[in-house]
Amino acid sequence: MAKSQQTYNKTEKEKKRLKKREEKKKKKEERKASGETASEFAYVDEYGNLTDTPPDPSRKIEVDAESIEIGIPKKEDSDEEVDFSKEGKVSFFDHSKGFGFILDSKTQEKYFVHVSGLIDEIDENDKVTFELERGQKGMNAVRVKKL
């Protein structure tokens, strides 16, 4: 004789589901009997909260559509050019591996430099100008020129 495929847990879950369905049906019938009607509209008050009452028309504020800016406003063109280049000295550079480090002359911070970020050929102890760019592990020196 074969054993039933339905376990105790399955039957309990099925009973709970049926009980929930019956309770929902009873609540629906009670609402119909009492005459309650669900509000079909939701309104947003002046503070951004959802309510079931319509807003007071006297508190309505007119907004000029032309005054709404979509996007980021353009920067004003200034007469002076901003120079992002920094000066430093090559503290280490390995030509066979294609990377090295530049020591910033002002802040004494070391920045990683890769051969792909070079404009001129550099060697150790060369004075250079460079720009910074965010890399995977920190700031990298790019557009490196020899002085």
Burial of 142 (0-12, 13-18, 19+ CB in 10 A): middle
Phi and psi based region of residue 109 (left: phi greater than 0; alpha: psi -120 to 50; beta: remaining): beta
Q: Which residue has the higher pLDDT, 69 or 23?
A: 23
Indicate if the pLDDT at residue 78 is higher than 80. no
Q: What is the pLDDT of residue 81?
A: 45
Q: What is the pLDDT of residue 82?
A: 43
